Structure 1
């Protein structure tokens, strides 16, 4: 018992400096986001990359590695507190079919497009999942479930930057598209909730049009968040089929953060969770993700991201345009 406590104390001393640095960067990112309106994930990444020298050999390295991996998974698991089964079923079967279709078709098309452009199919899953599900959060979750690869962190950071930038642009442009198409408040909510990448931008765009549009957009968006679990399961199965990871261990069929996501979503669906607890866990999830993305930024050099070229950028823009056209087509047939 004494040895276990001593080991835990020693381990915490190793991890604390890197975690504290990541938390400070996350706090600075939140401050800048609140005052300048840009996505907090984007600020966290950029500030983290400015401090990438801390991830070299030194006191902060172990803590940064721990934060980028374990804290990230905790934040993903806590995303389950954002959704309930009641929210999903309230809109009827049509939006459910629409969301399932758009996620499956978009990710499949992204994998095909990525392979056509000469990329690894997992890069297509990463960018397609981020576009189809919930932006930066989905990119981080899928990255955690996909097989290890020398370029995985670089691809993840590029995807987070790209999807955050496109989501911010969408928050401004998509309400204009909805008005131009003469969509009803419900239709506009479905359109915004099904096409904008990140939850915060969906909320901003929806409520900028009307309360009804904002409520509908938020629920549709949360339905997309719920698709994170089956997609993670598929990614984990693919990873398992690849064989052992770098440590020689066979990856679990369903990662613990995916199990946590499912359990919390079920608990949240009972209606027994007090609002203050739900809000607190949602805030904790957000903080975990921002702190983790700060750590991921510290592990990456800006010159590496600058070397990606135009093809990945064109891939993500193409996925975004494809999603708009797909959603409008599905709305025509289903709503």
Structure 2
């Protein structure tokens, strides 16, 4: 007797939920705890989710005995699929109107800063013998939008034994550096006596994470905060094309050179989703209240997924990354800061 297709689909769904709900639920609980700490103590939510996740690393390990390792499949699902879902929803925050008003010169500084920082990361990784994957991962995260970019870029890179370690190191590093920049960079805008517009471009064009850009910008003035957020979203808009270019180049590179892991598709589904939502928002087809809801959902999806990523990686493996890796990501941060600072200074004068 042939099985009923509907019954088969239901059985698969039930099996899928049974495998994954525990790990997903643990990730959600950690994300909620991280958000609580962020709201009450001022710590970056991404950083808190990452550190709390690392503390619960044992849940992602294979455990002996009956019921051992029951959270592992759900943690894997959350770190992979929920991450891609969150990145796709980021597209709803992007629209063509973001470009209007800043002017071609300031936009050129922001875009060139992104491109050159990624190239700087590749060059630095080559000089330090760290591998091209690490250069792309750190350079892209510093250049675009911190932890979100790191997770998106990692999703399209071929996997190897260092992939999880490098991702967790990059997320941890850019979050810490972004927090330091949130404190120090507004002082530089006062020191150089920048106008509100130029200050906003500098802060939005250099600080890694969106939340820290908002914090730094509005700590100066409302006008600076609005411009900084606008510029930061332009950098976020570059996430899709950068990931697409990386995906295409990786596939071409993998055709001629042996690489570990499965090659990613030419156009990952989450990038397609990002572009679709950005296009719909640019055309005004997504109501403002829906955009706000999608932005909030995207943020929570990324927070939950970074908690899962934290649980997948042990602290010992992070410490194994070495001083050269720290030097590289700090150098990338300094590079984009100097480049954008020089660019806005020239424009201001």
Instruction: Find the counterpart in structure 2 of residue 7 from structure 1.
Output: 12
For the 8 Å contact 1:245–1:251, the answer to whether it is kept is no
Instruction: Find the counterpart in structure 1 of residue 29 from structure 2.
Output: 24
Asked whether 1:37 is paired with 2:42, we answer yes
**Match runs of 1:1-335 below 5 Å:** 1-57=6-62, 58-241=69-252, 242-243=254-255, 250-334=263-347
State how far apart, in whole Å, the 1-side matches of 2:188 and 2:73 are. 47
Q: Alignment partner of 1:197: what SS?
A: coil
State how far apart, in whole Å, the 1-side matches of 2:162 and 2:136 are. 14
Q: Deviations over 1:79-135 (max 9, x none)?
A: 101111111233121222112211111110111011101101111111111111111
State how far apart, in whole Å, the 2-side matches of 1:246 and 1:26 are. 31
State how far apart, in whole Å, the 2-side matches of 1:14 and 1:282 are. 28
State how far apart, in whole Å, the 1-side matches of 2:226 and 2:209 are. 15
For the 8 Å contact 2:213–2:229, the answer to whether it is kept is yes
Q: Indicate how the Cα distance of structure 1 residues 247 and 127 shifts in structure 2: closer, same or farther if over 3 A, else same.
A: closer
State how far apart, in whole Å, the 1-side matches of 2:311 and 2:189 are. 39
1:274 deviates by 2.1
Q: Alignment partner of 1:134: what SS?
A: coil
For the pair shown, the structure with the greater C-alpha radius of gyration is 2
Q: With structure 2 as the length reference, what TM-score do the two structures score?
A: 0.93
- Structure 1 residue ranges, 4+ long, deviating more than 6 angstroms after superposition: 244-247
State how far apart, in whole Å, the 2-side matches of 1:238 and 1:157 are. 24
For the 8 Å contact 2:165–2:321, the answer to whether it is kept is no
For the 8 Å contact 2:23–2:73, the answer to whether it is kept is yes
State how far apart, in whole Å, the 1-side matches of 2:190 and 2:326 are. 28
Q: Alignment partner of 1:150: what SS?
A: coil
For the 8 Å contact 2:158–2:260, the answer to whether it is kept is no
1:275 deviates by 2.2
Q: Indicate how the Cα distance of structure 1 residues 231 and 274 shifts in structure 2: closer, same or farther if over 3 A, else same.
A: same
1:293 deviates by 0.6
1:245 deviates by 7.6
Which ranges of structure 2 fall in alignment gaps of 5 or more residues?
Answer: 1-5, 63-68
State how far apart, in whole Å, the 2-side matches of 1:334 and 1:73 are. 37
State how far apart, in whole Å, the 1-side matches of 2:317 and 2:265 are. 31
Q: With structure 1 as the length reference, what TM-score do the two structures score?
A: 0.96
1:332 deviates by 3.6
For the 8 Å contact 1:98–1:334, the answer to whether it is kept is no
State how far apart, in whole Å, the 1-side matches of 2:221 and 2:60 are. 45
For the 8 Å contact 2:28–2:304, the answer to whether it is kept is yes
Alpha-carbon RMSD across the aligned residues, in angstroms, is 1.4
